[in-house]
Amino acid sequence: MLNSSLQQLSALIAAKKISSVELTNEFLSRVKAQNPVYNAFITVNEEMSLAQAHAADAMIASGQGQPLTGIPIAQKDIFCTKGWLTTCGSKMLSNFISPYDAGVIERFNTVGAVNIGKTNMDEFAMGSSNETSFYGPVRNPWDITTVPGGSSGGSACAVAARMAPAATGTDTGGSIRQPAALCGISGIKPTYGLVSRYGMIAFASSLDQGGPMAKSAEDLALMMNVMVGFDTRDSTSLQRASEDYSRDLARPLQGLRIGLPREYFVEGLSSDVASAVESAIAEYRKLGAETVEVSLPNTKLSIPVYYVLAPAEASSNLSRFDGVRYGHRAPEYTDLNDMYQKSRAQGFGAEVKRRILIGTYVLSHGYYDAYYIQAQKLRRLIAQDFSEAFKHCDIIMGPTTPTTSFPLGEKSGDPVQMYLSDTYTIATNLAGLPGMSIPAGFGNSNRPVGLHIIGNYFAEAQMLNAAHQYQQVTDWHIRIPDTLNGL
Amino acid sequence: MSLTLDDIKRVANLACIETSETEAATALVHLSGIFSLIEQMQAVDTSSVKPMSHSQDLVQRLRDDIVTESDQRELFQSIAPKTESGLYLVPKVLE
């Protein structure tokens, strides 16, 4: 049961072979037993989960069931969830019981999915290892001495350790794809604007995008069908006709043109990741796809550009945390300014403060043109690289990350080294393109490797098709760590 | 460009984050490393490029000027650090 796909669980529920309450109880006991090892969840609330499960069973009994009705889904703790503690991995929000639901949460509630718990994450989604969480690091199920990636590390771990059949994540510079790669699961960041940002606690608003994390592309498609949709309360939400993201899964890959950016296969890429990715691409050739070399000449600039734009937007977004209306307020202060200064100094962790300082600096008088405007101009060049490349190919592939998972603590003292973990993922956020990661084998020490698939705008169904066809001829996505054998 | 300890303190003050001498010194080391990465941007001539603030060229939507939210003051204030008679309390600003 714990190892089943969403598709299988959905069939069991529809055939009334298992109830949502039974399924939810099964996952809740799994979480109870395993979470002390992994620390993937910040909040578990059996009573609220089971109330949803009972409601789902009633929906099914009255013939109102949909594909995800009654199925437990882990929610990243960045999504405001009414009546649930919603911390965003921060001390600042460690007392914040959300008074409302995020757009994404509403959509899951509408179809009767069960919230199985709120997952751990890097504080305010700022991190690539889940080590910046106020609630402590998450451990990678493939090797608990290594990181699960971040910022959606808890979600990736929950799926990989079979504590949830699927989870939500958010991706500002790689926060769905990088942890998916490091934990050996599948994850997709949709085209910017497809998933509502309403109630998704903001980090860098022009880059943030929610998306699903699951075991397979087929399951991601089911999640996308629920998560994507127009929301008037998000000013950048796109109004488009609704799509069935499963519609093209079965299509053969004959003639698919895969672009391989030459800048993705150079120095910095570790050899074990390179060879796994090359084997995956060879598999695609066997499936009938053609490969063409493409160039994304400004790839190297994406990290510098991102570390200007994302902190700039973050410094503005996080100015709302002032200890007045909600969140942490310092216990002692002398006046209003001192209250702000102390509440923010106590409420934010080191990485968040660092990014607020960078952002404040690049937006300050005298530096705005040299940093912020220059970064926005380079952002356009980076986006143009992709539109040029897509003239020669349908889809782009490469490694999701330069290395497999790394030991806890290895990079936490050196921000620049940590930032380089997102070398391959950041450019798609800057361009607003969809990107996904799927398991593509293992590197040294049996650590998972992710294959990165980048599509053109709104090409999610095509990307899921490419991923699904690969998952029909490989079994990387159903492998589990040895410690989980017997499930 | 090289950052100074004074830059860090000035920016921390603008960002309303109380910062001790030790924290400022550590921040200086980390931010200097990050800015040496950021400096790579300056090598590119972008004089003819238009800044891109957003990936989609969107126009801000307009809506009818009608009330869409109901009054939830009590719910919202139930999670506030300090309130009184429906007001959020902060230290006195004017004497």
B61 touches chain A (CB under 8 A): yes
Enzyme catalytic residues of A: 76, 151, 175
Residue A305 CA to residue A317 CA, distance in Å, equals 18
What value, to the nearest 5°, has the Cα angle with vertex A451 and ends A448 and A452?
Answer: 130
Residues of chain B found within 8 Å of residue A363, distances taken between Cβ atoms: none
Size of interface A-B (CB pairs under 8 A): 160
B24 touches chain A (CB under 8 A): no
Residues of chain B found within 8 Å of residue A345, distances taken between Cβ atoms: 17-19
B29 touches chain A (CB under 8 A): no
CB A27 within 8 A of CB A101: no
Residues of chain A found within 8 Å of residue B92, distances taken between Cβ atoms: 335-336
Cβ-count burial of A149 within 10 angstroms (0-12 exposed, 13-18 middle, 19+ buried)? Answer: buried
The residues in B 33-52 lying below 8 A from A, measured between CB atoms, are: 33-35, 37-42, 44, 46, 49-52
DSSP class of B95? -
**Residue A304 and residue B46: Cβ atoms within 8 Å?**
no
Q: How many Cβ atoms from other residues are within 10 Å of residue A192's Cβ?
A: 25
| CB-closest option in B58, B91, B93 to A333 | B91
| CB-closest option in A308, A325, A334 to B38 | A308
Cis peptide before A151 (omega within 30 of 0): yes
B53, B55, B71, B88: best mutation site toward chain A, by most A Cβ within 10 Å? B55
Instruction: Please report, to the nearest 10 degrees, the dihedral formed by the alpha carbons of residues A270, A274, A276, A281 taken in order.
Output: 160
Residue A191 CA to residue A168 CA, distance in Å, equals 16
| CB-closest option in A326, A416, A430 to B34 | A416
Arithmetic mean of pLDDT over chain B:
93
**Residue A370 and residue B27: Cβ atoms within 8 Å?**
no
What pTM does this model have?
A: 0.97
B64 touches chain A (CB under 8 A): no
Beta pairing, strands A209-214 & A435-442 = unpaired
Residues 6+ positions from A477 with CB-CB distance below 8 Å: A184, A185, A186, A215, A216, A438, A439, A471
**Residue B11 and residue A361: Cβ atoms within 8 Å?**
yes
Place of tokens 């403060």: A353
pLDDT of the residue at A388: 98
> By C-alpha distance, which of A412, A415, A391, A411 is closest to A403?
A411
List the A257-261 sheet strands across, edge first.
A41-43, A114-119, A72-76, A166-171, A209-214, A186-189, A435-442, A448-455, A395-399, A257-261, A290-294
**Residue A430 and residue B63: Cβ atoms within 8 Å?**
no
Alpha-carbon distance values, B28 to A387, B11, B21, B23, B25 (Å): 38, 11, 11, 9, 5
Q: How confident is the model at residue B91 (pLDDT cuts 50, 70, 90)?
A: very high
Residues of chain A with pLDDT under 50: none
B59 touches chain A (CB under 8 A): no
Measure CA A132 to chain center: 16
pLDDT of the residue at A407: 97
Residues of chain A found within 8 Å of residue B35, distances taken between Cβ atoms: 358
Q: How confident is the model at residue B1 (pLDDT cuts 50, 70, 90)?
A: low
**Residue B41 and residue A99: Cβ atoms within 8 Å?**
no
pLDDT of the residue at B94: 82
Residue A293 CA to residue A359 CA, distance in Å, equals 36
**Residue A354 and residue B46: Cβ atoms within 8 Å?**
no
Nearest Cα residue in chain B from A194: B56
Residues of chain A found within 8 Å of residue B45, distances taken between Cβ atoms: none
A316, A357, A385: best mutation site toward chain B, by most B Cβ within 10 Å? A357
pLDDT of the residue at B63: 87
Beta pairing, strands A395-399 & B83-84 = unpaired
**Residue B31 and residue A354: Cβ atoms within 8 Å?**
yes
Beta strand spans in A201-287 (E): 209-214, 257-261
Distance from CA of A368 to the nearest CA of B (A): 12
Residues of chain B found within 8 Å of residue A333, distances taken between Cβ atoms: 91
Residues of chain A found within 8 Å of residue B19, distances taken between Cβ atoms: 345, 353
Residue A90 CA to residue A271 CA, distance in Å, equals 36
